[in-house]
């Protein structure tokens, strides 16, 4: 039982940030359907870091994106893929 669990290949969840996030037309703070549909809470929403664009007001950041942070908890139920209105999420393994 545990052996087959160890063999489970790595799940890669990717979000297309050109659609969802600071550059795209969707603000994650308005949508967040993937976060809300995910049972093990794999996603985290956060102000963006590491991009060239700086947050104008650090006390009230306006650029947000969603990162699938706990990939190992993903059960591959595809609820997030189905929930995303712009099909920005892909899951591969």
Partner 1 sequence: MCQWCLKHGAGKKWYLNSRNYHADQLSSEAEMTDYLTEQWMNFEQIYIRKIAGFSSKDLGYKLKMPIIGRILRWRAESMIHSESKNRNAKNADGHFGQVIPLEDAQLIMSELAAEPIICNYCMCRWMQRKEKEAVCINFGVLSEVLEKLPRFIPKDRTYRIDRETAMEKLEEFNKKGYISSVWFQPVPYINAICSCESPECGGFTLRNNFDLHVMYKAEYIIQLDQDKCQGCKQCVAMCQLNAIRFIPSMNRVIIDYDKCFGCGICRHACKNDALKLIPREEYPGFDGTY
Q: Which of 18, 73, 85, 86 binds partner 1 (CB under 8 A)?
A: 73
In this chain, which stretch among 19-27, 38-46, 75-83, 84-92 interacts with partner 1, using CB under 8 A?
A: 38-46
- Strand runs (DSSP E) across the chain, as ranges? 12-15, 43-47, 64-68, 89-92
> For 46, left (φ over 0), alpha (ψ -120 to 50), or beta?
beta
In this chain, which stretch among 15-23, 69-77, 79-87 interacts with partner 1, using CB under 8 A?
A: 69-77
Residue matched to tokens 């659609």: 19
- Is there binding between residue 79 and partner 1 (CB under 8 A)? no
- Is there binding between residue 77 and partner 1 (CB under 8 A)? no
In this chain, which stretch among 17-25, 57-65, 78-86 interacts with partner 1, using CB under 8 A?
A: 57-65
């Amino acid at each position: 039982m545990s052996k087959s669990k160890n063999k489970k290949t790595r799940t890669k969840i990717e979000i297309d940030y050109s659609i969802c996030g600071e550059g795209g037309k969707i603000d994650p703070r308005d949508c967040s359907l993937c976060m809300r549909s995910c049972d093990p809470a794999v996603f985290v929403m956060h102000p963006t870091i590491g991009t060239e664009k700086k947050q104008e007001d650090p006390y009230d950041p306006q650029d947000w994106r969603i990162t699938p942070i706990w990939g190992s908890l993903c059960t591959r139920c595809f609820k997030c893929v189905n929930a995303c209105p712009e099909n920005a999420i892909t899951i591969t393994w």
